Chain A
Amino acid sequence: MVDLNALHLPDDPDEALAAVVALRRLADTLERRAVRSALGQGWSWARIAQALGVSKQAAHKRLSDIAEKSAQEIS
């Protein structure tokens, strides 16, 4: 678990909440990059979903465009 005390939480709620938004966005970007890499290494959606801790349907619904894009780039 990350030590939250190591992070400086701004007193200004606007600053603190903006950091939350930015972290979510960063996590989304990392997720897309990791899924793209996993697909490139031949991982199935079932494996990816299990690793992400979500259902296969949920992972596919949210991230399937990564596979479509990768396939377009290969062809």
Chain B
Amino acid sequence: MFSRIKARFNDMSTIKTLCEAAEAYALQDQQREPGAEHFLLAALDLPDGTARLTFERIRVDPEALEPAIARQYGNALAAIGLDVGAAASAGHAPLAARPVPFNASASGQEIMQQLAAERKAHGPLLGAHVVATIASMQHGVAARALRAMGVDAGMLKAAAEEIAKGS
């Protein structure tokens, strides 16, 4: 009984850390509501280290994720014939945080709902669980950034699940 309460408390603490970091990445990225890409970056910062380990397991440098995300916007505009240079990417001053309740974008909400739905199926919430959830998404900035990095989403998901099971 006590261990279950403790596990739940730890999960809440992890979710709080994850959401705060995702929001910080979103503000840095000039967006108010964190999306899947911001949750993925936030997962890499979680102290359990399993998200980072997942990328390393499939021989992908996790540090390459943030620049890959930043490039997605310019690449998407170039695909329709618009060349706006660096204006489409990051590099602007971050937005200021507002004293309003946390709110994620649609893709961010999808991740939180998925993590909540699968909570009982695994032990403590880990960064690898977040990676596995995001690796399942076929569309959006996170999925496109991973593809641009040459990441096989199926392999990433499998590695994340294996690492999460072993932790």
Contacts and interface: CB of A to CB of B under 8 A. Distances in A.
B72 interface: yes
B80 A7 contact: yes
Interface stretch (A20-28, A37-45, A50-58): A20-28
B96 A22 contact: no
A21 B76 contact: yes
Interface string A1-41: 00000111110001111110111011011001000000000
Nearest to B93: A69
A22 B139 contact: no
Contacts of B96: 65, 68-69
Interface in B24-59: 30-31
Q: Name the prevailing secondary structure of the A interface residues.
A: helix
Interface residues of B, number: 22
A29 B84 CA distance: 12
Interface residues of A, number: 22
B141 interface: yes
B80 A8 contact: yes
A26 B31 CA distance: 11
A26 B87 contact: yes
B79 interface: yes
Q: Which 4 A-B pairs have the closest CB atoms?
A: A18-B76, A22-B76, A22-B73, A65-B96
Interface of A: 6-10, 14-19, 21-23, 25-26, 28-29, 32, 65, 68-69
Given A7-B81, A8-B81, A69-B96, 11 more contacts: A9-B80, A10-B79, A14-B144, A17-B139, A19-B80, A25-B73, A26-B73, A26-B77, A26-B87, A29-B92, A69-B93
Interface of B: 30-31, 72-74, 76-77, 79-82, 84, 87-88, 92-93, 95-96, 98, 139, 141, 144
